[in-house]
Structure formats: structure tokens, C-alpha cells
């Protein structure tokens, strides 16, 4: 997938574009339907499938005090979009000046720069332009003027609940990972960069990789069965989220760490995509490091058993 930052760059590399536009935080099943429509239509017509998204999240600019915690960083979002098989992605910088642009001007820029533009796909709830005045009805009105097709993609509903980034965010924060996974179409995951830690895990005999998460939404504190993608490698693991209360000699700070099963390589500064499969237990304070060590061994044994099941390999 070719990633660009300006319309001009995109116009040079994406002829006859079928364009899917949205914030796409989480790239959930609803987003996948919008993107998939543009992708499939481009393949049928011999055009180019393009996703147009924004960085940062528009709410960070418009109402920073009400901006949601992100399900996916831009880097993570791009990786998920690439997995959907699109040809290109345009990441537009969203700033105050951009937010003041009338919606008609935005469509004019898109259509004239991408000439010929074949199609714009958006979700029913998509809003754009100054004061969020633009919507799918405006796109439909302007489509004949510029000669493209406007496609409205209806929301996806899962068991009477509309799939949305907001709903998924609430499910993850509430620990309802199965529900979040059903809406995402995959396990909830966190992309993080491995950073040096204090080697507590190694001292206990279970070395861990400390992750600085790129996104902002994490499940509740506890111990989880996980899979980790490191480069092209897939590894099982056990994740701990919390403040490690057994060790009272350090100021409590919430951390995300993963013990990778049957793995002993230096992965400092590498990005790891951690997929949460199932919660094993809450975080708790143990009477001693030895008691904790015994518990961790039990956690690993339980994780291995779960990873061997069909659900653990989904």
C-alpha cells in the first residue's frame, strides 16, 4: 500500500480512484465495509482503491477536552488498512485551518485533484467540513457536477448494537474483549514499541518485554493470554497490565509487559502488535516474589492450553 500525505502525491500514483473517506479509528467491521466497497469497485473497474483518513483525530483539534482515547495510532491504523488490500492511503493533516474549510470546497479539491475521480464511499454517519456541515447527502448532490459516484454505506449492527469506535472503546475499557473482538472482526490489539524495563521478569525467570503503547485504550489491569506479532513472526504470550503491586519499592506506574513463550531474543526498539485473547485473572499483590513466581508459572501453563484450542488460534 502506497502512503502519501498530499492530494498532489496521490494524483500522481492513484488514477481513476475509488475513494473511502473516514477517521477509521479501530478499523472495525463498519469501517471495513466502507473500505471494502471502494476496494471491490476499484477492482471491478480497473481503478485504484484509496483510503483517505486524518491525523490527528479531528476531535483533538476541535474539542481537545472531549477527544476520545484512540483505539489505534495512525501507524497501527495504516497497518490494519493495508491488510484490507487497498492500493493507497492518503493521510491528511487535520489542523485548525483545515477544519474551517467549507465542505463543498473539500469535495471540490478532492474531485479536481483526483480527476478523474470514480467514486467516494462514506458511512452514513460521516461528517466533514466547517462545523461538520458536510454529509453523505451533500456528496450525493455534488457527485453529478464532478462526474463521480457517491456511495453511502449503512452502519453495521451486531446483536442490536451498532458497531462504532465509541462502542468498542467502552467494551475494551470494561473488559468485554469478546464483544470488542466481534465488532472489530479480530482480537483487540495494541501496537507498542519495546523499551528497557527494570528486569523484574528476568529476575523471576520469566523475562518480559515492556511496551510503550502507541494507542491509548487498554483493557483493565490484569493478566491476559495474548498473541504477539513481531515482524512476520507470531508468538503466544502472557500479558500483564498494571502496577506490579508485589514490588512496593517503586512508585506505582501502570505498565504493559508481555512474556513471549519460547522466545529469547533482544527486541528493544521493535514494534510489537499484541492481540488480547482472554483474561486469566486480575492483578493482585502476592506475599513474596516466590509466590508470584509460582503464580506466573501457572499463568503460562494456562496460556499454553488456551493457545492450543481452536479459539486460541483464531
Exposure of 51 by Cβ count < 10 A (0-12 exposed, 13-18 middle, 19+ buried)?
buried
241-285, pLDDT tens digit by residue? 998 776 666 556 788 999 999 988 888 899 999 999 999 999 888
Q: What is residue 200's predicted lDDT score, i.e. its pLDDT?
A: 61
**Alpha carbon distance 274, 225 (integer Å):** 10
pTM score: 0.92
- pLDDT, mean of residues 282-307: 90
Q: What is residue 249's predicted lDDT score, i.e. its pLDDT?
A: 60
102-148, pLDDT tens digit by residue? 999 999 999 999 879 999 999 999 999 999 999 999 999 999 999 99
Cβ-contact 23, 55 below 8 angstroms: no
Q: In 22-143, where do the E strands start and end?
A: 48-55, 88-93, 117-123
**Alpha carbon distance 17, 20 (integer Å):** 9
Residue with cell 488490500: 85
23-72, pLDDT tens digit by residue? 999 999 999 999 999 999 999 999 999 999 999 999 999 999 999 999 99
Distances (CA, A) of 64 to 55, 57, 96: 14, 10, 12
Asked whether residue 314 carries a pLDDT value surpassing 60, the answer given is no
Q: What is residue 54's predicted lDDT score, i.e. its pLDDT?
A: 97
More confident of the two residues 247 and 94: 94
The fraction of the chain above a pLDDT of 70, given in percent, is: 93
Mean pLDDT of the chain: 92
95 SS3 class: coil
**In terms of Cα–Cα distance, which of 183, 278, 275, 188 is closest to 225?**
278
Q: What is residue 243's predicted lDDT score, i.e. its pLDDT?
A: 84
More confident of the two residues 140 and 287: 140
**Alpha carbon distance 235, 183 (integer Å):** 24
**In terms of Cα–Cα distance, which of 253, 257, 311, 278 is closest to 175?**
278
Residue 257 contacts by C-beta under 8 Å, 6 or more apart in sequence? 197, 201, 208, 209, 210, 211, 239, 240
219-238, pLDDT tens digit by residue? 999 999 999 999 889 999 99
Asked whether residue 201 carries a pLDDT value surpassing 80, the answer given is no
Q: For the chain, how are helix, strand and coil distributed in percent, rounded to 5?
A: 35, 30, 35
The confidence band for 202, taking pLDDT boundaries of 50, 70 and 90, is: low
Q: What is residue 199's predicted lDDT score, i.e. its pLDDT?
A: 57
Mean pLDDT: which of 78-87, 290-299, 305-314 is highest?
A: 78-87
Q: What is residue 128's predicted lDDT score, i.e. its pLDDT?
A: 97
- pLDDT, mean of residues 190-216: 78
Q: What is residue 286's predicted lDDT score, i.e. its pLDDT?
A: 85
Pairing, β 2-4 against β 88-93: parallel
Amino acid at each position: 500500500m502506497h502512503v502519501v500525505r498530499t492530494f498532489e502525491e496521490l494524483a500522481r500514483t492513484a488514477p481513476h480512484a475509488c475513494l473511502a473517506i473516514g477517521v477509521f479509528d479501530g478499523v472495525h467491521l463498519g469501517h471495513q465495509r466502507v473500505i471494502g466497497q471502494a476496494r471491490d469497485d476499484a477492482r471491478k473497474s480497473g481503478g485504484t482503491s484509496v483510503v483517505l483518513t486524518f491525523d490527528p483525530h479531528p476531535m483533538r483539534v476541535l474539542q481537545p477536552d472531549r477527544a476520545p482515547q484512540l483505539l489505534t495510532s495512525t501507524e497501527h491504523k495504516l497497518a490494519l488498512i493495508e491488510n484490507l488490500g487497498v492500493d493507497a492511503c492518503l493521510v491528511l493533516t487535520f489542523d485548525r485551518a483545515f477544519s474551517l474549510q467549507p465542505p463543498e470546497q473539500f469535495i471540490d479539491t478532492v474531485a479536481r485533484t483526483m480527476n478523474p475521480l470514480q467514486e467516494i464511499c462514506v458511512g452514513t454517519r460521516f461528517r466533514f467540513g466547517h462545523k461538520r456541515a458536510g454529509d453523505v447527502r451533500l456528496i450525493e448532490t455534488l457527485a453529478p457536477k464532478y462526474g463521480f459516484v457517491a456511495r453511502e454505506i449503512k452502519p453495521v449492527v451486531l446483536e442490536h448494537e451498532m458497531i462504532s469506535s465509541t462502542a468498542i472503546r467502552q467494551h475494551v475499557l470494561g473488559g468485554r474483549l469478546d464483544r470488542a473482538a466481534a465488532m472489530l472482526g479480530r482480537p483487540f490489539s495494541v501496537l507498542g514499541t519495546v523499551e528497557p524495563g527494570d528486569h523484574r521478569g528476568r529476575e523471576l525467570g520469566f523475562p518480559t518485554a515492556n511496551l510503550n503503547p502507541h494507542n491509548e485504550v487498554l483493557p483493565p489491569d490484569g493478566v491476559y493470554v495474548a498473541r504477539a506479532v513481531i515482524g512476520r513472526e507470531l508468538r503466544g504470550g502472557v500479558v500483564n497490565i498494571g502496577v506490579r503491586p508485589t514490588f512496593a519499592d517503586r512508585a506505582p506506574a501502570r505498565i504493559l509487559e508481555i512474556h513471549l513463550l519460547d522466545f529469547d531474543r533482544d527486541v528493544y526498539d521493535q514494534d510489537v502488535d499484541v492481540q488480547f485473547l482472554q483474561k486469566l485473572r486480575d492483578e493482585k499483590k502476592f506475599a513474596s516474589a516466590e509466590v508470584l513466581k509460582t503464580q506466573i508459572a501457572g499463568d503460562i501453563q494456562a496460556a499454553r492450553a488456551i493457545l492450543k484450542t481452536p479459539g486460541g488460534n483464531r
